[in-house]
């Protein structure tokens, strides 16, 4: 896909995003400068997907810092914190939002003895690094994931954990995009993903743009395609992975995991370490976003499809229990149960690599 999901336009002091609410019918690039419009863009899923939200938040906080008019660190930091708290309130589940904002705040604090202008430059570099790292991380996830499947396999995915959800490649769709580059022919089944249709509007769009054999199914058809023997592996993304391996992702993921277990199909969660939250012990501890009723009763329909006044429950996420997950694909390799041990080992590996980079 030739469009960038999320970018910094420093000259215009803007966060540039591809408006995902308009896809696939319109390709519209937005250049956002106001804090409120950036917040709205995250809340309304104009930019969405855990890693892309993280990159957008890092850029947004840099832009907020750039606009702060003071030379005194204390005042600068207070205003930066205000902007950080504001952006952190846009969505509660994807941990990448908080991960990116915390990372930016740490940079500001680490350089507190320097002039404010220099701190702003450090923040700009960090925001750019968050994006560049995401591209590298997703590519690595793609390489590790590709080793788990073979040419001709049928793969089922849920929601959109592709390029549109990251800076490039995606997480769950990265093995498919990389495989396509290398001449593999996968048959991908994408759940439409009610109620916001990320599978129908976004995964189908990006996979088709990449020339991947893609079949769209309604969410309630996953069991049928699995029963038909058409699915050799399930790949999904993740919004927050708890320390015990419970994987919170788009609503419906838990059901897909249960089906995969029943049909004995490997179920893989693709999660960069920025999505792994060792401070959250288990899936039950992850805050689940609830969204407005009209997404279920009216959105996408020509006219309302439910009686006025009906009660609606609209959780945006659920979690696949760690016992249902065959493996978790990170940028440092695939980890297997017991996850409470293997996830900690991945962070030890990450710390080693970071130390190597620092030494070099």
For ligand MRU, the closer CB: 258 or 288: 288
Q: How far is CA 322 from CA 73, 190, 342, in A?
A: 44, 22, 12
CB of 240 to ligand MRU, least distance (A): 9
Interface with ligand MRU (CB under 6 A), residue from 163, 171, 190, 254: 171
By CB under 6 A, residue 331 contacts ligand MRU: no
By CB under 6 A, residue 141 contacts ligand MRU: no
Of the residues 191, 239, 277, 318, only one is catalytic, namely 239
Active site residue 151: no
By CB under 6 A, residue 237 contacts ligand MRU: yes
**Which is nearest to 130 in space by CA: 277, 276, 278, 7?**
7
For ligand MRU, the closer CB: 80 or 94: 94
Rounded Cα distance between 142 and 178, Å, is 6
83 in Cβ contact with 61 (< 8 Å)? yes
For ligand MRU, the closer CB: 45 or 156: 45
By CB under 6 A, residue 51 contacts ligand MRU: yes
| Structure-derived torsion over alpha carbons of residues 36, 39, 41, 47, reported in degrees to the nearest 10 | 150
Q: Which residue's Cβ lies closest to ligand MRU?
A: 237
Structure tokens at 34: 């106001």
134 in Cβ contact with 80 (< 8 Å)? no
For ligand MRU, the closer CB: 172 or 335: 172
Task: Pick the stretch among 74-82, 164-172, 276-284, 294-302 that binds ligand MRU (CB under 6 A).
Answer: 164-172
By CB under 6 A, residue 49 contacts ligand MRU: yes
219 in Cβ contact with 194 (< 8 Å)? yes
Interface with ligand MRU (CB under 6 A), residue from 14, 15, 94, 233: 94
User: In terms of DSSP H, where are the helices of 69-202?
Assistant: 73-88, 95-110, 116-146, 174-181
Residues in contact with ligand MRU by the rule CB under 6 A:
45, 48-51, 94, 159, 161, 165-166, 170-171, 198, 237-239, 249-250, 316
Catalytic residues: 239
């Amino acid at each position: 896909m030739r469009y960038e999901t999320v970018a910094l336009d420093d000259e215009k002091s803007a966060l540039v995003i591809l408006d995902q609410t308009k896809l696939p019918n319109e390709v519209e690039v937005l250049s956002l400068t106001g804090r409120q419009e950036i917040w709205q863009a995250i809340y309304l899923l104009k930019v969405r997907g855990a890693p892309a939200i993280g990159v957008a938040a890092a850029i947004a906080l840099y832009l907020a810092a750039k606009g702060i008019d003071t030379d005194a660190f204390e005042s600068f930091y207070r205003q930066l914190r205000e902007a950080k708290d504001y952006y952190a309130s846009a969505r509660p589940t994807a941990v990448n939002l908080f991960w990116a904002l915390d990372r930016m705040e740490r940079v500001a604090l680490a350089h507190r003895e320097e002039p404010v202008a220099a701190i702003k430059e450090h923040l700009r570099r960090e925001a750019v690094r968050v994006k560049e790292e995401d591209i590298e991380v997703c590519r690595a996830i793609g390489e590790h994931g590709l080793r788990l499947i073979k040419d001709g396999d049928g793969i089922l995915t849920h929601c959109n954990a592709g390029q549109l959800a990251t800076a490039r490649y995606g997480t769950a769709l990265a093995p498919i995009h990389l495989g396509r580059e290398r001449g593999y022919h996968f048959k991908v089944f994408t759940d439409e993903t009610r109620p916001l249709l990320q599978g129908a509007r976004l995964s189908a769009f990006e996979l088709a743009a990449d020339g991947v054999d893609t079949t769209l199914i309604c969410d309630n058809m996953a069991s049928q395609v699995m029963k038909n023997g058409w699915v050799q592996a399930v790949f999904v993304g993740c919004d927050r992975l708890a320390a015990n391996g419970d994987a919170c992702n788009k609503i419906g993921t838990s059901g897909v995991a249960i089906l995969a277990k029943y049909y004995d199909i490997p179920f893989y969660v693709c999660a960069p370490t920025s999505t792994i939250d060792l401070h959250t012990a288990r899936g039950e501890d992850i805050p689940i976003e609830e969204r407005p009723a009209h997404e279920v009763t009216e959105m996408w329909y020509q006219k309302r499809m439910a009686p006025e006044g009906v009660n609606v429950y609209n959780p945006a996420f659920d979690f696949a229990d760690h016992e249902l997950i065959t493996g978790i694909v990170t940028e440092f390799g695939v980890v297997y149960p017991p996850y409470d041990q293997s996830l900690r080992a991945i962070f030890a590996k990450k710390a080693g690599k970071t130390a190597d980079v620092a030494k070099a």
